Amino acid sequence: MSGAGDARFMALALALGRRGQGQCWPNPAVGCVIVKDGRIVGRGWTAPGGRPHAEPQALARAGAAARGATVYVSLEPCAHHGETPPCADALIGAGVARVVAPVPDSDPRVSGKGFERLRAAGIEVTTGVCAEQAMADLGGFLRRESGGRPHLTLKLATSFDGRIATATGHSQWITGPAARHMVHGLRARHDAVMVGAGTARADDPMLTVRGHGAVRQPVRVVVSRRLDLPLMSQLARSAQEVPLWLCHGPDPDDVLAEAWDGVGASRIACDLVGQQLDIASVLENLGDCGLTRIFCEGGGGLAASLLQAGLVDELVGFTAGLAIGAEGLPGIGALGLERLEAAHRFRLAETRAVGGDVMHRWLRD
């Protein structure tokens, strides 16, 4: 297979893997394509909940045609016994001739061992194909497995002049129905939706996915140092149906902590920096809990903290064709920048019209 052919089929495997984003944590969202004589004979992606993995699904579809075929998988096949047998062993047993994968798995139970097992069985292994895109798709999983943090997307919906609400706090609806539908789709592609305490108090949000069929609902994460959130909110009333995690300081009020435990919320104690929650500690703790992709929807103070700490991997903005004026509320809190050069610049990846609004997506270099 030519290099161009490898890139083409790997791009398809990556696209299939993205179908599982938000639906299979703590496992990675992996895609797999099996090709024989230039024809796709099997394909699969990580199932909701994390199992079955992509490779056994693709092998089942390929059947006997997998023997002597080339397998394109968007992450190194696993080599350890968990709840299912190793995918590397399944590929060996199927008699495939070649495996192409962009990057090794950072899980120490796998890291390089899957490739070693395949090579020991006489299977040709090619790595590095579409590695940059694989790192973008799986960065949160790979970072988390090596002691880092989840991938973080920061979303802002603003007026043309960069405001998220009027001076009185009224914010429904700055963007139109098409943009709001897209936001629900973005929620579905992340493991968790995160907001600050101010947004939870002001908007009383549900933070669930609606209008996209039957999906695994994301974890709702609220960052609240004191746990001073309304116990009659939609979040509290639904905590036993849809997971609600509260990130708070190391010494929460005992009465509030007991009340949130009583409604079914999970609490995560995080470190402080001065009088504020250490946002890096928040993300590290969420990664330790298995999250790989987090979608942050504000508010301004939380957004500013994430940007100041250099923890934002992706910006998604929705701009509406209306102006609110200087008295309106800004989307991001003060960053304390004295010089423009200190601001981190993101790289524009996509821009398009969504209904009557404009969506623009930016990636961290």
82 known member of a binding site: no
Of the residues 55, 145, 284, 314, only one is catalytic, namely 55
305 known member of a binding site: yes
301 known member of a binding site: yes
188 known member of a binding site: no
Angle, nearest 10°, between helix axes 279-288 and 131-145? 90
216 known member of a binding site: no
Q: Does the annotation mark 338 as catalytic? A: no
Task: Say if residue 168 is exposed, middle or buried (CB neighbours under 10 Å; 0-12, 13-18, 19+).
Answer: exposed
Give the C-alpha separation, 46 to 52, whole Å.
Answer: 6
The 10 Å Cβ neighbour count of residue 342 is 9
Q: Per 3-state DSSP, what percentage of the chain is helix, strand, and coil (rounded to 5)?
A: 30, 25, 45
70 known member of a binding site: no
304 known member of a binding site: yes
94 known member of a binding site: no
Residue 281: C-alpha distances to residues 22, 106, 278, 307 (Å): 22, 21, 5, 15
48 Cβ neighbours under 8 A, 6+ residues apart: 20, 23, 24, 216
- The helix/strand/coil state of 199 is helix
Under DSSP, the state recorded for 254 is H
171 known member of a binding site: yes
289 known member of a binding site: no
210 known member of a binding site: yes
Q: Which residues are marked as active site?
A: 55
- As annotated, the binding site for Zn(2+) includes 53, 78, 87
- As annotated, the binding site for NADP(+) includes 157, 173, 199, 299-305
- As annotated, the binding site for substrate includes 171, 187, 203, 207, 210, 297
- As annotated, the binding site includes 53, 78, 87, 157, 171, 173, 187, 199, 203, 207, 210, 297, 299-305
